[in-house]
Structure 1
């Protein structure tokens, strides 16, 4: 996805709060996640992926032209920050699990999402989140697509080799964070010892995503995951103390699970695949929204 959609947009928007907005956000092929939000005039935060700046601006213009989720007379320019996925320094969605694992071993974390934890559940989580307990079902693909299993294996190897897909893993349902944890997008200005700070963040389990950027005065986007705002502020203070006179400014947006409007981590990828398949009119394609039986009949 990062290859096909190298433009990540995190946008604070003003949308109508009605059924049309809900349907639009839940079906749009570019919106990965949306959150209820209130800051000044803005009431929504969206996480989007686009091909380029032209694609994003064309998409934005179309929204206004259709007038479904905001009319021109009610429009307020979005507060959008743009990031290149080519500048991602760290992307490790399973990193926050190490926070849970460490907390469990210390006796500080006894449950997650209402589920009581024990050593077995911790080990299972670790295996599925890192992909060690998940494998591609070549037999299912061969039956569903009506091709030989060896053909499926060769195709998968080719996709992996060319970086089109990665090995299968499980993800937390929330974007980048475990259940009951907050997602915090922080724009950070680092003026000195940048490489040291980068290396430290790469090892930090609280941070699943870090991107180099140029957004106003800020040169990094850091996505953090914390149970409470207090924990995040404590973490932030540790960084400013460990790297004195290096971190000049921080601007954070806090998104709690209760603020979740819509998250579909597969939709953007699936819509992209459908778009690619539609360009192959002579190929028999599979409907991702139908059941296995329907696709085979």
Structure 2
């Protein structure tokens, strides 16, 4: 694969295609991923190209999907399991957290399986199809968690996840699937565990990931404020996070996940512990309201982080 021009979801499809072309061990499994091409068409065309032995339709059973992927990985394959919505990845949490993530620690073999799917709100999907459940999986030793926030990362991070020897969860924000476009002549590359500075600045910084970085960039377009995209949520790129916090002296953590007990709380705590002497203000947090995601568009918009909320908190941070 060389030149590409397309959307975020098309980059995911291209990454799967290129990985399967490059390595016959790579296979895909999940609900409706074959003939239907996936609920969001992320696997469209793969069945025709690679056949039913490598593009496997499964029952609506997340535990079976995860368990099958783990078994395939232990037998030498490189499976990519799709959860139709990452809300329901919680049904398979026991297998991913208590088995896949710990297999190497317990008895030696690695589990090179990828568990990917759409998460996040903004589409009126309601409380069961709009969650950001990544916080439930963070901090599980042996389990890596990534959240691509750009078209290039949708491709590059997925390729890196497929090649990684450990189990990796990929949280793709469904609101970005067809809203972001990009192009390249040569495939982009990325390494898990490395954050990316999306905008530089000296007055403060926003640390974020996934679709929330689009909110951050819109909020600081005219400000001297840096925006750091974590890309990998676990393990964190502590070195880059710490260096930016110490350089800018003011930090706002922005996530679409719940503000209370969410990933932003851990980030704020880590920055407070490691950067306190360099900070000129407390670490502020913006996250989703502590409520199930409403299906009503106006209520959903009120519950999710907005440019206005971020701008308001930045004003407070810069005035400290």
The TM-score bracket by the shorter chain reads: under 0.3
User: Which has the higher Rg, Structure 1 or Structure 2?
Assistant: 1
Which structure is richer in relative contact order (CA contacts within 8 A, separation 6 or more)? 1
Q: Which has the higher strand share?
A: 1
Taking structure 2 as the reference length, what is the TM-score of the superposition?
A: 0.22
